[in-house]
Amino acid sequence: MAKADRLERLDTRRIELEAEYRAALIAALERTAAGKWGLFDHQRDRHARAAVRPTLDHLTELAEEIDAARDRLQLEPFALHAEFLAARGPVGPSAVGEPKQAQAWLARLAADASPAE
């Protein structure tokens, strides 16, 4: 029974961490949607990188904790962080700007949170 209790507590903690990650990502996306560039690193600006570094570090720390818990629970890795990291980096000249990209991410996350009909 003790192992089952530990696993249940770990799963509860994982759920809390995933909610914390989601909230931190949404807050960062809202700042970006409001016009603060740097989250997606489109421009490779060192000042923007420095400004967004604490947010990225926090998200990465949370994702590592989540992945460790998911591994112990034999669940798939945390996909949201991997998808976010894949969306970062240089883009072509015809790509949407970071504020529009952030708005699209916010819409996606809102749709994911909506209950299925």
Integer Cα distance of 38 and 48 in angstroms: 5
Does residue 115 belong to any structural domain of this protein? Answer: no
**Structural domain that includes position 97:** 2-101
Average the pLDDT over 34-56 and give the result: 93
In a domain, 53, yes or no: yes
Going by pLDDT thresholds of 50, 70 and 90, the confidence category of residue 23 is very high
Query: What percent of the chain lies above the pLDDT cut of 70?
Result: 97
Residue 64 lies in a domain: yes
Cα atoms found within 13 Å of the Cα of residue 18, Cβ hemisphere only: 17
**Looking at the domain assignment, is residue 108 inside a domain?**
no
List the one residue out of 86, 112, 82 whose CA is nearest residue 101. 86
Is the pLDDT at 116 greater than 60? The verdict is no
Residue 54 maps to a domain: yes
In a domain, 70, yes or no: yes
Q: How many CA atoms lie within 13 A of 17 on its CB side?
A: 22
* pLDDT tens figures, 61-79: 999 999 999 999 999 999 9
**Number of domains into which the chain is organized:** 1
Query: What is the C-alpha to C-alpha distance for residues 105 and 78, in angstroms, rounded to an integer?
Result: 17
Determine the pLDDT at residue 57: 98
* pLDDT at position 21: 98
